[in-house]
Amino acid sequence: MLDNYRDVLTVKELAEVLRIGKNAAYDLVRTRAVASVRIGRKYLVPKRKVIEFLGDSCYNSRVD
């Protein structure tokens, strides 16, 4: 799934991977739901943290 991406993703790439909008991706990194590093005005997201987020998310979903 993430084979085509480098080890560190931009917010735009995070949005592509998660199939969400760029604003929603920024919300995830700002609220630290997805771990990231901020360098100046740019957020960088380690690929392994995206994988961890996806793994954690599947256990947090509710079934009604």
Residue the block writes with tokens 């009604």: 64
How many domains does the structure of the chain reveal? 1
pLDDT at 31 over 80: yes
Q: Quick one: CA dihedral 40, 42, 47, 50, positive or negative? A: positive
Host domain of residue 41: 8-60
The CATH code of the domain that includes 41 is 1.10.10
Domain assignment present for residue 20? The answer is: yes
Residue the block writes with tokens 């995206």: 50
pLDDT at 62 over 70: no
Domain assignment present for residue 3? The answer is: no
Domain assignment present for residue 1? The answer is: no
pLDDT at 59: 58
Q: What is the mean pLDDT of residues 37-54?
A: 95
Listed residue (62, 19, 10, 54) closest to 33, CA to CA: 54
pLDDT at 56: 75
The single-letter code of the amino acid at 39 is I
Alpha carbon distance 11, 23 (integer Å): 9
